[in-house]
Amino acid sequence: MLSIGAILFARFICATILHLSLIEEVNSALMNMKFVLNHHYIFQRPNLAFMISYMHFFVTTATELCNVCIIITSLYPVSIVLNFIAIAIIAEFDNYVYGSMRNEYCKKLIEKNIAEKVLIVHHTTSKRCADDELSDVKDEDGNYRKLKIKFSDRSCGSKCMFSLYKICRIYFVSFYFYFLPFTSVMLSILVPMLTQTP
């Protein structure tokens, strides 16, 4: 008979390893969402660019939540590890496809050295920025754009997308970043307690 401690330990380790491997992707998706919202004039279709970044965030976090659900339903350490490996391969599948591409123009456009030159932050929503500060980017009329973007200055669609970004950011900072691996341990204890008959 396997001890409960060994099962809980296997669940926690597997949840933590996948969490650490995906946390950079989730943070990158959030940064891309914010960049699109603050630099909409760079994109031909900013709504589509935002939704692609949002889907990246959503799919990555959903994959990790599925991993937690699968490993808490596994009863043996070997099956926990095997299920974790299967989910980890699925989570990294996009990176495998990206790595296998050769001489693709789209791949060259999103490489780090080009992205750092193109995706330069010119605007902010920071409270430390004064309302009258100007960025180094000019608008269509030749005037410098404001450095700070206020919520009231956004269009209706941009306000909705910014609210969605803020919800994702709150979820990331308050729960996902610190507590998601521990949910495998907490649920392993709470689910049997709540489902057992009196």
Q: Domain residue spans in the chain?
A: 4-109+155-195
Model confidence band, residue 73 (pLDDT cutoffs 50, 70, 90): confident
The reported pTM is 0.78
**pLDDT of amino acid 48:** 92
Alpha carbons 81 and 103: distance in angstroms, whole number: 36
Least confident span in 55-59, 88-92, 95-99, 104-108: 104-108
Alpha carbons 7 and 71: distance in angstroms, whole number: 10
Is pLDDT of 193 > 70? no
**What value does the mean pLDDT of the chain take?**
80
Model confidence band, residue 190 (pLDDT cutoffs 50, 70, 90): confident
DSSP character string of the chain: ---HHHHHHHHHHHHHHHHHHHHHHHHHHHHHHHHHHH-GGG-SSHHHHHHHHHHHHHHHHHHHHHHHHHHHH--SHHHHHHHHHHHHHHHTHHHHHHHH--S-HHHHHTSHHHHHHHS----B--TTS-TT-EEEEE-TTSPEEESB--GGGS-HHHHHHHHHHHHHHHHIIIIIHHHHHHHHHHHHHHHHHHHS--
Is pLDDT of 25 > 50? yes
**pLDDT of amino acid 53:** 92
